[in-house]
Amino acid sequence: MGSFEAVGVTKRFGTGPPALQDLTIRYEGSGAIGYLGPNGAGKTTTLKLLVGLLRPTRGRVSLNGADPVTDRKRALWDVGALIETPEPYPTLTVFEALETVGRARGLGTNDLDDEVDRCDDLFELPPFGQRVGTLSKGQRQRVALASALLGDPSVLLLDEPTSGLDPAERVRVRDALLRLKKDHLIFVSSHLMLEVTEVCDRLVVVNRGRVLLEDRVENVAAHFRSRRVDVEFGGPVTPESRVRLAALSASVEVVNDRRWRVSFDGSDARRADILAACQAVGPVLHFASASLQLEDAYLEVVEGGTGA
Amino acid sequence: MSTTESTVSVRAALRDRSATDVEQWWAVTSSQLAHYVRTHRFLGLLAFVGGVSVLTIAFQLYAGAPTVRIAQLNSGSEYLSNFLDYTGLWVILAAAFFGGDALSVDFSTGSGYFMLVLPVRRSILLAGRYTAASLVTLAIIGEYYLLGAAGEVYFFGLTSLPWVNLLLSLGLAVLFGLAALSVAFCLSAAFRTPAMGVLATVLVLYVGFTTLQGVVELAGVEPWFSLTYAGGAMAAVLDTDFLHYQSIPLGEDQYYTLWSASVLEGVAIMLAYVIVFVPLATYLYQRKESTG
């Protein structure tokens, strides 16, 4: 089974702030890991470092136990990568472009044909005889995805794999990744929360070159749940009653005249204080942790800039 | 066999055996060759060199065979030496077109994200592209020499065709092509913008060397460092009255020395360019990062 790791990796371009700072991640076996962050967070830099397109300023990168810069053939042998927008020569046909990849990966003629057919089944490739230069953005992206999967490498490093695809094509890619993650190790970067959570088991949130959070997808939302409570009163309460909670460092969002949403530091003691304060306002029918959407959790992490 | 079974067998096969460097080199070469021969650059240069050659022969036909024979000292070898005088220019243009952006394309377009993520050493990628560029350059040279030989046969007859010297000149032209491509690949590895590599190749190999050569010759020094000087051996080998240098009197005790590279000298200089610039291009290419 494949593996990849980055240990204490910092990448600096020129004299500016580091594009990536002290990144440490390590995965092996199978499954899908989502690498999430806003544009410019350092996602593509990380992937480029993993495949040896960039050299770390500090730290160490390893792909299947080999250094992707000094021993790239061994490091990339069992790895399929889709970084940025790969563009085969526009004069080549779709088949010739894939043939180049297949031959470089050591596929014989029969295996190459089988593999191209498999990728065609997965992504519905454009006509094999069509020149790459005449393909639409979506068609080109599907060819790029096929080139990453050709030879069925056990590690897939995918940078925004659904970029440029229409909704139907996105579903196709999502379904393919769901199938592949059973026996492949997939590291997929995206700035789209939904895209990642539909496919991935684990989530790494990165912003401004720093990893802010790393956890299982279901734990990410759960972790934030305790920071908010929904309160439902037995009767209408005035918004002014919120002052009773001011001393508890809590902010109160008035949902309607009977319901509040209270944000606080998440501690059990403060939670008990808030319940008592609410009961002083009026009879409390319902007091429970607000179910925070993953999207909100992501925004909270990224905007807050601190790990959970 | 189902898709799943087929996939399993492919993975098993790939684990057992990885592609050799030679297989990967050939995969890169054939793909690059397929790309080159479909580009406007190749077709345009092929048409241009062919057009200029055909036009030259057409003018000679218009002048008449006797006039051509007299003008060329009644020598087929002299005819070829003059006809093939532009080989250096065509080779430099081919080197600029096919080598000037051969590597920089990986760092300025999405091509790098397609090729550089493959499990192929960069030195192998460079070797494959260098081979493909050499083959298309050879196609341009071959066309020029073929048309030159056709003109010689028409005006002087097959029996007067200087086979040995013509083949020697062709060999020198191929070596000159390899040397020019080595410089072009090196410039391509140094620059990030493809257009800069192409322009720099033409400027360095044609304008730069020619100017520098003229300057040092004025000082009476042999321009042994110049690739274009070495390239002079391609035509010189066919020249009937070859002189390594000629001192042309300019005035009282003042001479201008005109140098011509001998075959051995030309070969040595061209080989030196290949030996120096190919490793340098490889080093620069391996060091370069995809920062775009």
Tell me, what's the pLDDT at B222?
Answer: 87
How confident is chain A (308 residues) per 10-residue block, as mean pLDDT? 93 91 94 90 94 96 94 94 93 96 92 93 94 93 95 94 87 92 94 82 90 85 68 88 76 88 82 88 85 64 59
Which carries the bigger pLDDT value, residue B41 or residue A225? B41
Q: Is any Cβ of chain B less than 8 angstroms from the Cβ of A48?
A: yes
Tell me, what's the pLDDT at A149?
Answer: 95
For A31-74, how does the pLDDT look when each residue is reduced to its tens digit (9 = 90+)?
A: 999 998 888 889 999 999 999 999 999 999 999 999 999 999 99
CB pairs under 8 A between A and B: 130
Q: Strand order in A228-233's β-sheet?
A: A251-254, A259-263, A228-233, A284-289
User: Is there a domain that residue B269 lies in?
Assistant: yes
CA distance to partner chain B, nearest, from residue A73 (Å)? 4
Q: Is any Cβ of chain B less than 8 angstroms from the Cβ of A124?
A: no
Does the distance separating the beta carbons of A74 and B13 come in below 8 Å?
no
User: Is there a domain that residue B125 lies in?
Assistant: yes
Which carries the bigger pLDDT value, residue B292 or residue B177? B177
Tell me, what's the pLDDT at B3?
Answer: 46
CA-CA distance, A63 to A51, in Å (whole number)?
A: 8
Task: For each of the domains in chain A, give its residue range(s) and CATH number, in order of start.
Answer: 3-218 (3.40.50.300), 228-291 (3.30.70.1150)
* Whole-number average pLDDT of chain B: 90
User: Is there a domain that residue B6 lies in?
Assistant: no
Which residues between 266 and 295 in chain A have a beta carbon less than 8 angstroms from any beta carbon of chain B?
none
User: Is there a domain that residue B1 lies in?
Assistant: no
Backbone φ and ψ for A281, nearest 5 degrees, come out as -75, -45
For A128-145, how does the pLDDT look when each residue is reduced to its tens digit (9 = 90+)?
A: 999 999 999 999 999 999
Tell me, what's the pLDDT at B252?
Answer: 75
Which residues on B lie below 8 Å from A48 (Cβ)? Answer: 290
User: Is there a domain that residue B243 lies in?
Assistant: yes
Which carries the bigger pLDDT value, residue B287 or residue A267? B287
Mean pLDDT of B53-66: 95
Does the distance separating the beta carbons of A105 and B10 come in below 8 Å?
no
Q: Is any Cβ of chain B less than 8 angstroms from the Cβ of A265?
A: no
Amino acid letter for position A161: P
Q: Is any Cβ of chain B less than 8 angstroms from the Cβ of A262?
A: no
In the numeric block, which tokens belong to residue A190?
Answer: 């995206």
* Whole-number average pLDDT of chain A: 88
User: Is there a domain that residue B278 lies in?
Assistant: yes
CA-CA distance, B222 to B225, in Å (whole number)?
A: 9
For residues A55 and A45, the answer to whether their CB atoms sit within 8 Å is no
Which residues, at least 6 apart from A232, have a Cβ–Cβ distance to it below 8 Å?
A: A258, A259, A284, A285, A286, A287
Measured in residues, chain A has a length of 308
CA distance to partner chain A, nearest, from residue B266 (Å)? 36
User: Is there a domain that residue B36 lies in?
Assistant: yes
Does the distance separating the beta carbons of A96 and B7 come in below 8 Å?
no
CA distance to partner chain B, nearest, from residue A307 (Å)? 28
For residues A292 and A215, the answer to whether their CB atoms sit within 8 Å is no
Task: Please tell me the total count of domains within chain B.
Answer: 1
Domain enclosing residue B87, as ranges: 20-287
For residues B256 and B248, the answer to whether their CB atoms sit within 8 Å is yes
Which residues, at least 6 apart from B182, have a Cβ–Cβ distance to it below 8 Å?
A: B273, B274, B276, B277, B278, B281
User: Is there a domain that residue B5 lies in?
Assistant: no
> Does residue B1 have a pLDDT over 50?
no
CA-CA distance, A237 to A35, in Å (whole number)?
A: 44
CB atoms within 10 A of CB B146: 13
CB atoms within 10 A of CB B163: 9
